[in-house]
Amino acid sequence: MSNLADSSHPARPAVAWIGLGIMGSPMSENLIKAGYSVTGFTLEQDKLDRLAAAGGTAATSIAEAVKDADVIVTMVPASPHVEAIAYGPDGILENAKSGALLVDMSSITPQTSVDLAKAAKDKGIRVLDAPVSGGEAGAVEAVLSIMVGGEQADFDAAKPLLDALGKTIVLCGPHGSGQTVKAANQLIVAVNIQACAEAVVFLEKSGVDLKAALDVLNGGLAGSTVLTRKKDNFLNRDFKPGFRIDLHHKDMGIVTDAARNVGAALPVGAVVAQLVASLRTQGDGGLDHSALLRAVERLSGAQL
């Protein structure tokens, strides 16, 4: 068996990684651990220092990071950020080599992914949209769910790399399909968190032992990955961001707009989207999305 820590392994493409935030940093480090050579760029020097300490190479620009890369992975917050790093004279498309594979793992609108794929094709660059689910814990543990849109051959080429980042990796259809599935994912997660938050307040106000209640609920039909991952957040009121309300607000805008475009009714999703937006306007946008509990507590009379 070959040594996965051997970065000189001939089968491993050179990787450029753009965007080293809460998700991007541990994901890029997992690639390094799997034996990939990773050159990264982001705007924060401390994140570049972290990459270098993990065995990666810090670049001073997007152009420097991507010029020799076989695979370029991007993980940035929203569509405008993807457009900013992809287009223009200093962007990915103008500086990557022909034949490179661009794997955008950001959560953006499906149309942005479709447009990027079209623009990249003119430069001889292949594209996959490959957003993820699993939050910071999933990124650290390399157990993310990765939903991919694009061509089968490009998916096959990227699959070994994606295997180092996640456990459930599925080609969902053509360009934009990964983003559509991610939007559905964010709808389910937000509604699930909201239901859990309401249950927590109901249980506490009823005088029930909350930990015991959540344990037994999570062992039955009410159980979920959301409850497993967020139970301690609810119990400890620990809302350190694993996935910020600001980003979930963006995602709820994506799914409600996309649903309107295809004529799909989202009555519960629309309400939860408004609750997420309300929490954000109350100054909690930088907290983890489990902080939806704070909104329910306020509605239930708590002074926070």
Backbone phi, psi, residue 28, to 5° = -65, -35
Query: pLDDT tens digit string along 157-195?
Result: 999 999 999 999 999 999 999 999 999 999 999 999 999
Q: Is 273 found in the same domain as 226?
A: yes
Q: Which amino acid is at 290?
A: S
pLDDT at residue 2 in the model: 34
Q: Is 206 found in the same domain as 163?
A: no
Which residues have CB under 8 Å from 191's CB, separation 6+?
A: 268, 269, 272
Asked if 249 contacts 276 with a C-beta cutoff of 8 angstroms, the reply is yes
> Of 31, 28, 35, 30, nearest to 10 (Cα)?
35
Query: pLDDT tens digit string along 13-69?
Result: 999 999 999 999 999 999 999 999 999 999 999 999 999 999 999 999 999 999 999
Q: Is 23 found in the same domain as 169?
A: yes
Give, in degrees to the nearest 5, the angle at Cα 110 between 291 and 243. Answer: 20
Q: Is 190 found in the same domain as 163?
A: no
Query: pLDDT tens digit string along 101-154?
Result: 999 999 999 999 999 999 999 999 999 999 999 989 999 999 999 999 999 999
Q: Is 161 found in the same domain as 20?
A: yes
Backbone phi, psi, residue 221, to 5° = -65, -25
What's the whole-model pTM score? 0.90
Q: Is residue 4 part of a domain?
A: no
Q: Is residue 89 part of a domain?
A: yes
Domain tally, the chain = 2
Given 47, 159, 167, 182, the catalytic residue:
182
Q: Is 157 found in the same domain as 48?
A: yes
pLDDT at residue 304 in the model: 84
Q: State the CATH number of the domain containing residue 40.
A: 3.40.50.720
Q: Is 154 found in the same domain as 27?
A: yes
Q: Is 137 found in the same domain as 50?
A: yes
Q: Is 121 a catalytic residue?
A: no
Over residues 255-261, the mean pLDDT reads 95
Q: Is 126 found in the same domain as 39?
A: yes
The residue segments making up the domain with residue 87 are 15-174
